[in-house]
Amino acid sequence: MTMFSEFEYLHIFGLGLIVIFIGLRGLLQQKSLNEPPLVPYKYPIIGHTFEYYKDVPGFLKKCHEEYGEFFSLYIWGSVQTYVGNELYHEIFKKNQDFDFHEAFSDVFPVDTFLNRPDNFFKPLVTYLKEFYNNLGRFTQTVECEIVKTLDELIGDGKVIQPPLKTIQQIIARPIAATIVGKELCNDKELLNTFATITAELGPWLSIPPVLNFIYKGLHRKYIILKFRYLNNPIKAHRKIIIAKITPVINQRLIDQNELGNSWKRPDDVMQVLIETSKDHENNVDIGRVADFIMCFIFGSVHNTSATLAQGLCAYVNNPEYQKDLIDEADRIHSENEKLTFDGVHKMEKLDNFVKEILRLNRHDVSLSHKAISTNIVFSNGYQIPKGRIIHVITRHIHYDPKTYGPNPEKFNPNHHINSPATRPERNFLAFGMGKQACPGRFFAVNEVKIAMHQILLRYNIKSASGKYIEQKRKGGFGLVSDDGLLFEIRKNKNNK
Ligand code: HEM
């Protein structure tokens, strides 16, 4: 299945060792700037790589204590810079100097995976902001799709294990309803694509980038080759999306043509994509529509599902907050059986709860940006060379005792009273900050709240083992636990 056998991979590794010296020479040349301190390391080439991955939070804490909040490490063959609490916001302010997309594209070159030129998917953010502008119109669609999925997948109660798989299906359906519309959002095969494509890419992308020890960027080249020439999840799911959307798009074009002014324009992202993918003869580029749909899926389903799954684990682990949340859900439900946008706004306890989930479940390091200008100078005088990747130490920001008290690891939704979950703050970066803050955050938080609301109305949730649910960790990543969640029926739709 893989393009290179392990032997071939090591072979490339061996041959490329020669190139290391070119890398080392580059490293020495960079020393003329007033850069943040490079933490000393014992082994050339390997640098801090293994020490860092052995215990990411511990190693970052140690570096912070010894070198302050701005330092560089030598990881996977390149110098990378880490910034903490006091200065990170300068990255977001200097948005002409630092680029989020360039850094993201180093690990997930989506344009190349889909054989598109650089920046092909730039309009995505504009489409998204315009489309989700008036979110209230989707409240009932989202609620209705969540209820249908809960009925199908959990019914009168069961254990879900690992929970993320089921939760991805719950989250995927309302997203599919707003992206591909009513005609397609119940299609099982397409829903499976929505729910699983991002997670399926994980193993393809999580190979340690050892080739970068040879030459910076070699791992990226290897990944691109693999995606281009082998059957991979993107190719298989792209085929499914195209097969499903083609007849629906053709039918929409026929209807629009035949019905003229009495045609009711479908209110979904796919319609926006159809209209922006037409040539001068009105032919729709279906490949473009499919590729943008895939990018929407990459941005939305996995993050939102992980947040809901982590929310359910936090609910089980912190029983002292359960009564308030259930009372709030019951009260809102008794005011209006069908959820309204106003009802979602009234879920204040739940909003604080969701914000606390987002605070405590971030990766240790995130929001990586690439320096795209020369002569970048921070207010403390440190300079960053062009091409350098700079990471934000999210852990130090989200666990800052000045903001979150002497025990910042403790789950406490009351930190966020009067501060909506969608609002980026100096010590809350779950959705980034500034111009490029996540444009899907309003939809994501609404969806998580609606799903939690429906779950609280129907079920008592417990850990299947009866034990505290520990978060899973891999390097600096916090992942959803595989421990089972028990859903016991509280009320069902015939017993409201
Ligand atoms: C809880 C769920 C979510 C989390 C935690 C999350 C988090 C983030 C973060 C941290 C960024 C980078 C921001 C920056 O660099 O400053 C981002 C960008 C983005 N997110 Fe989200 N996101 C979520 C849900 C969604 C959803 C549901 C959508 C789509 C409907 C979406 C679409 C995007 C897009 C398109 C970008 C790129 C923005 C740009 O290129 O400027 N996200 N998200």
Give 210's contacts (C-beta < 8 A, 6+ positions apart): 13, 76, 219
Determine the pLDDT at residue 27: 52
The candidate with the shortest Cα–Cα distance to 282, out of 325, 316, 252, 310, is: 252
Structure pTM? Answer: 0.92
**Residue 30 CB burial class (10 angstroms; 0-12, 13-18, ≥19):** middle
C-alpha 434, offset from chain centre: 17
Phi, psi of 64 (to 5 degrees): -60, -45
End-to-end Cα, the chain, rounded Å: 51
The candidate with the shortest Cα–Cα distance to 190, out of 129, 121, 133, 242, is: 242
Say how far apart CA 86 and CA 94 lie, in whole Å: 15
Q: Is the peptide bond before 162 cis (omega within 30 degrees of 0)?
A: yes
Protein residue with least CA distance to atom 36, ligand 1 = 438
Determine the pLDDT at residue 3: 42
Determine the pLDDT at residue 418: 94
What separation in angstroms does the CA of 393 have from each of 36, 56, 87, 293, 400?
A: 15, 10, 11, 31, 11
Determine the pLDDT at residue 31: 55
Determine the pLDDT at residue 16: 53
Give the number of the atom of ligand 1 that is nearest the alpha carbon of residue 447. 27
- What average pLDDT is seen over the chain? 92
Structure tokens given for 15: 């041959």
Determine the pLDDT at residue 205: 78
What separation in angstroms does the CA of 59 have from each of 66, 433, 478?
A: 11, 26, 16
The strand ranges marked E within 49-161 are: 70-75, 78-83, 98-99, 157-160
Distance 436 CA to ligand 1 centre (A): 9
Determine the pLDDT at residue 475: 87
Say how far apart CA 325 and CA 322 lie, in whole Å: 5
Which of the listed residues 142, 438, 449, 477 should we mutate to test ligand 1's pocket, taking the one with most ligand atoms within 8 A of CB?
438
Residues comprising the binding site? 438
Distance 123 CA to ligand 1 centre (A): 14
C-alpha 85, offset from chain centre: 22
pLDDT < 70 regions, the chain: 1-31, 491-496
Protein residue with least CA distance to atom 30, ligand 1 = 440
Contact between residue 153 and residue 191 where contact means Cβ atoms under 8 Å apart:
no
Distance 23 CA to ligand 1 centre (A): 34
Give the number of the atom of ligand 1 that is nearest the alpha carbon of residue 295. 35
What separation in angstroms does the CA of 333 have from each of 138, 325, 453?
A: 18, 12, 9
The candidate with the shortest Cα–Cα distance to 489, out of 145, 164, 151, is: 151
CA atoms within 13 A on the CB side of 274: 22
Say how far apart CA 164 and CA 410 lie, in whole Å: 23
Contact between residue 180 and residue 293 where contact means Cβ atoms under 8 Å apart:
yes
Give the number of the atom of ligand 1 that is nearest the alpha carbon of residue 125. 35
459 SS3 class: strand
List ligand 1's pocket residues with C-beta within 6 A: 100, 124-125, 128, 299-300, 303-304, 307, 367, 430-433, 436-441, 443-444
Distance 431 CA to ligand 1 centre (A): 6
Q: In which element (H, E) is residue 202 found?
A: helix 188-205
Protein residue with least CA distance to atom 35, ligand 1 = 125
Angle between helices 286-317 and 269-276 (to 10 degrees): 150
Say how far apart CA 6 and CA 433 lie, in whole Å: 41
- The three-state DSSP-derived secondary structure of 276-343 is HCECCCCCECHHHHHHHHHHHHHHHHHHHHHHHHHHHHHHHHCHHHHHHHHHHHHHHHHHCCCCCHHH
**Which architecture does CATH list for 6-489?**
Orthogonal Bundle (1.10)
ipTM of the complex: 0.98
**What's the sign of the alpha-carbon dihedral 132, 135, 140, 146?**
positive
**Bridge pairing between strands 78-83 and 70-75:** antiparallel
Say how far apart CA 298 and CA 291 lie, in whole Å: 11
**Bridge pairing between strands 383-384 and 472-474:** unpaired
Instruction: Determine the residue type at 119.
Output: N
Distance 458 CA to ligand 1 centre (A): 30
Give the number of the atom of ligand 1 that is nearest the alpha carbon of residue 445. 1
Residues in the chain: 496
Protein residue with least CA distance to atom 9, ligand 1 = 431
Determine the pLDDT at residue 21: 46
Contact between residue 350 and residue 448 where contact means Cβ atoms under 8 Å apart:
no
Contact between residue 449 and residue 420 where contact means Cβ atoms under 8 Å apart:
no
Say how far apart CA 125 and CA 437 lie, in whole Å: 11
**Residue 462 CB burial class (10 angstroms; 0-12, 13-18, ≥19):** middle
Distance 439 CA to ligand 1 centre (A): 6
The candidate with the shortest Cα–Cα distance to 78, out of 172, 212, 206, is: 212
